[in-house]
Copies of this chain bind each other. A is one copy, B any other.
Amino acid sequence: MADCLFCRVVAGAQPAARVLEEEHCVAFLDTRPLFPGHVLLVPRDHHVTLADLPRELVEPLFTTAQRLCRAVQAAQDAPGAFVAMNNVVSQSVPHLHVHVVPRRPKDGLRGFFWPRRKYTGSEEMEEVAAAIRGALRP
């Protein structure tokens, strides 16, 4: 896809600070990181969301995400890692990308990061769970 930023990175037509080149995926630094060492891992082929990723690419992509967790933590001397994908909403580039971000205690993300709500009770929870069960496909 000529107009896709991450397809251009994969093809080498868009400069990027690459950290890894694999058969099925490429990883490079996010230019506007949450923290230095924030990496984006993308499949070479153009797939928009996690749900769109063909089954045969799931293991290659996420075993690479595992390696990247260890590497960004080691390189940044960070005890933790945040791994995330925005699908459609808040997805700035419509080419699946796994954020792998080194995390440290008190790095400032914790407070605002999970603005949790509460269900009104077990009845509402059971309703919502039943709707998801009903929507699940094999």
Where the two chains meet, the residues of A that have a C-beta atom closer than 8 Å to any C-beta of B are: 17-20, 28-29, 31-37, 39, 49-51, 53, 55, 58-59, 61-63, 65-72, 74-76, 78-91, 103-105, 107-110, 112-119, 122, 124-126, 128-129, 131-138
Minimal beta-carbon separation of A11 from chain B (angstroms): 19
Known: A50-B83, A53-B66, A63-B55. A109 touches B90 (CB 8 A): yes
Contact, CB under 8 Å: B133 / A34 = no
Q: A51: which of B69, B82, B91, B132 is its contact (CB, 8 Å)? A: B69
Within the oligomer, what is the number of copies of this chain?
2
Contact, CB under 8 Å: B69 / A80 = no
Contact, CB under 8 Å: B81 / A87 = yes
Whose C-beta in chain B lies nearest to the C-beta of A20?
B136
Q: How long is the Cα–Cα vector from A119 to B16 in the complex, in angstroms?
A: 13
Contact, CB under 8 Å: B87 / A83 = yes
Known: A75-B132, A117-B33, A134-B75. A84 touches B83 (CB 8 A): yes
